[in-house]
Amino acid sequence: MELLEQIGNWKFYLMGTYPAGELGGLLLNLLMAILSLTLGFIAACILGLGRISRRSYIHYPCAAYIETLRATPLIMIIFWFYFFFPNVLGKPVSLFWSAIISLSAYAAAYQAEIVRAGILAVSKGQIEAAMASGLTRRQAIRIIVLPQAFKMMIPAFMSFYISLFKDTSVTYIIGMIELTQTGIIISQRQPDKMFSAYLFMALGYFTVCYGISLIARALEKRLGMLDYEKVRDKELVLTN
């Protein structure tokens, strides 16, 4: 019954005080995840290619960045960019952009490993065959390797997007009024409704994450990617 009462606060959960105030709630989580994934992907392509570079002055800085960010808790990265980045720039940075920059830096490190793994998954024989036909190594990577690699990266990218969407909840710690913060605000205003507020908040995260999972499966089938569940079922039938 208490959960049904939270439906009356659906607009606050969805968009915060918008349009009277700034955008918040679940839509802010989605916006932060999309922007961070996009900006992080651009950096990840550079870092991923740098990680497999034969030039040590490119390889080692990229590897150091990736390993450092992957080994650092997201909450610490958010604190670094929120407290120290304005000092580097010499001017204040808004909460929103502090969150976007920190999430993008975090996403770039993880997506770089996806890019690296996708490229290495393409056999070297294809590069050698392309070079034998007259293409340079760069042309072979751009024309032959990357299109195949990006197709294989899609499941990992979709899985990471779900993870990144959930990670946007950590930005409440610097004052972002996203879904987690809206639940906290409502539970503080109505302490006796704390359980239902947090449950309603969890349902919001579940709905979006499950929706993304369905989109990911539909995209994989559309692209003709291997359905491992069907293959497994066929193998079980053959072995029985």
pLDDT in tens, 149-189: 888 888 889 899 999 999 999 999 998 999 999 988 888 88
Those residues whose C-beta lies under 8 Å from the C-beta of residue 227, and which sit 6 or more positions away, are: 220, 221
**pLDDT category of residue 96 using cuts at 50, 70 and 90:** very high
The lowest-confidence range among 9-13, 37-41, 61-65, 201-205 is 9-13
If you write DSSP's letter for every residue of 6-65 in order, what string do you get?
A: GGGGHHHHHHBTTTTS-B-HHHHHHHHHHHHHHHHHHHHHHHHHHHT-S-HHHHHHHHHH
**Domains of the chain listed by start with CATH number:** 2-239 (1.10.3720.10)
Distance of CA 44 to the CA centre of its chain: 12
- Report the pLDDT averaged over residues 197-216: 90
Q: Distance (Å, rounded) from C-alpha 129 to C-alpha 207?
A: 46
Question: What's the token pair of residue 174?
Answer: 């610097």
pTM: 0.85
The residue length of the chain stands at 240
Cis previous bond, 19, omega within 30: yes
Q: Among candidates 107, 84, 114, 125, which has minimal Cα distance to 165?
A: 107
Q: What is the pLDDT of residue 231?
A: 47
pLDDT at 230 over 90: no
Looking at every residue in the chain, the average pLDDT score rounds to 85
Q: Distance (Å, rounded) from C-alpha 175 to C-alpha 181?
A: 8
Could you tell me where the beta strands, DSSP code E, fall in the chain?
Answer: none
Those residues whose C-beta lies under 8 Å from the C-beta of residue 188, and which sit 6 or more positions away, are: none
Question: What's the token pair of residue 204?
Answer: 């919001």
